[in-house]
């Protein structure tokens, strides 16, 4: 009985992963408003009825995709923290500003690879659904707290403007994950991913003014 239950659970996890991956791709390419449950089912290669056995609504599908992205973001940030700790032990401290830049670059790279969900800025149903999603909120708070530590350290050490509200800096960094400038530069076909990331990172942290 235990073996059968284990196999059933594994099959369910695989199906859930396939669905979330499909949602992620559709949110990245079409956005939340244009995405339909029928498209998700087709993209995941299963019947709509089977999908509804695992996810009951479009909002729940979007929430699962966002939880997945936040898990990846947290894993990346924790990897940076571990690397920084090891470097500090070796006598080579890593600047908090460089950590923030690395996270910003990761977010844009994820977007350029078509793996970053693009959600509407305002949607009452979706917003309410996400705010009541404990898994999503827990991860969002955890990520915000980790980044806020680096922001405070960067401002205290003079690497970022100390007069700016830390919340403004945090939201600015979050915005890079769905920055339309990144998408437009990519769609032009004139620039490499590396160029786009370098330019947008530079304007984010250094502004548009010419260096003096």
Cβ(71)–Cβ(139) below 8 Å = yes
Sketch out the chain's domains with CATH numbers.
57-206 (1.10.357)
Query: pTM here?
Result: 0.88
pLDDT of the residue at 115: 87
Integer Rg of the chain from CA: 20
Question: Which pair of tokens denotes residue 21?
Answer: 């991956």
Across residues 171-186, what is the average pLDDT?
92
Q: Which two tokens stand for residue 161?
A: 């403007």
Q: Under a CB-based contact definition with an 8 Å cutoff, are residues 115 and 24 in contact?
A: yes
Contact 30, 43 (CB under 8 A): no
Here the tokens at position 152 are 């405070």
Q: Would you give the DSSP letter of residue 30?
A: T
Q: Which tens digit of pLDDT belongs to each residue from 7-16?
A: 878 888 888 9
Q: What is the pLDDT of residue 82?
A: 95
Confirm if 105 and 201 have CB atoms less than 8 A apart: yes
Summarize pLDDT for 68-79 with one digit per residue, the tens.
Answer: 999 999 999 999
User: Helix, strand, or coil here: 211?
Assistant: coil
Cβ neighbors of 3 (< 8 A, separation 6 or more) are none
Predicted confidence (pLDDT) at residue 212 exceeds the cutoff of 70: no
Q: Is the pLDDT of residue 31 over 80?
A: yes
Please, what sign has the CA dihedral across residues 132, 148, 175, 88?
A: negative
């Amino acid at each position: 009985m235990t073996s059968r239950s284990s196999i059933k659970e594994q099959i369910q996890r695989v199906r859930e992963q396939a669905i979330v991956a499909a949602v992620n791709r559709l949110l990245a390419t079409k956005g939340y408003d244009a995405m339909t449950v029928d498209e998700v089912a087709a993209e995941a290669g299963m019947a709509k009825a089977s999908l509804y056995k695992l996810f009951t609504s479009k909002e729940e599908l979007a929430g699962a995709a966002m939880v997945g992205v936040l898990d990846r973001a947290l894993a990346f940030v924790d990897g940076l923290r571990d690397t920084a700790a090891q470097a500090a032990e070796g006598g080579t401290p890593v600047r908090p500003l460089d950590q923030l830049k690395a996270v910003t670059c990761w977010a844009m790279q994820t977007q350029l690879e078509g793996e970053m969900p693009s959600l509407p800025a305002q949607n009452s149903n979706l917003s309410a659904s996400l705010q009541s999603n404990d898994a999503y909120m827990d991860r969002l708070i955890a990520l915000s707290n980790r980044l806020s530590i680096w922001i405070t350290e960067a401002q205290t050490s003079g690497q970022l403007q100390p007069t700016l509200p830390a919340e403004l800096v945090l939201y600015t960094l979050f915005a890079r994950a769905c920055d339309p400038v990144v998408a437009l530069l990519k769609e032009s076909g004139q620039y490499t991913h590396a160029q786009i990331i370098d330019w947008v990172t530079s304007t984010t942290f250094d502004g548009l003014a010419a260096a003096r």
